[in-house]
Amino acid sequence: MIKIILPSQLDEYTQGERELVLETERADLCLADVINELDKRHQGVAFRLVDEHGNIRRHIAMFIGEQMVRDLAVPVAPNARVQIVGALSGG
């Protein structure tokens, strides 16, 4: 089971859902797999998180546990917590 925490910026895609659970027995998942599964459930989310070059967008921070990651190839262990954070701006 992987717990995914989503930012409010994705509410229009997730119908306001902020926490998802990805049930899986696979031990070989990477962050890209998690994003792909998220996009299957909520179409359009991946485009908001990943650019056309396959990189995490600059204004998005992703954490696996407490560790910030910038590479979609990073492994995600079973029972991990993935948190997606969108940048805030103001003026």
Domain region containing 26: 2-86
CATH of the domain at 19: 3.10.20.30
Q: Domain count for the chain, please give it.
A: 1
* Residue 30 maps to a domain: yes
pTM, two decimals, is 0.88
Q: Does residue 87 have a pLDDT over 90?
A: no
Predicted confidence (pLDDT) per residue in 67-81, tens digit: 999 999 999 998 999
Task: Report pLDDT for 89.
Answer: 57
pLDDT band at 10 (very low <50, low <70, confident <90, very high): very high
Residues 17-58: tens digit of each pLDDT: 999 998 887 888 999 999 999 999 999 999 999 999 999 999
DSSP state at residue 72: T
Residue 28 lies in a domain: yes
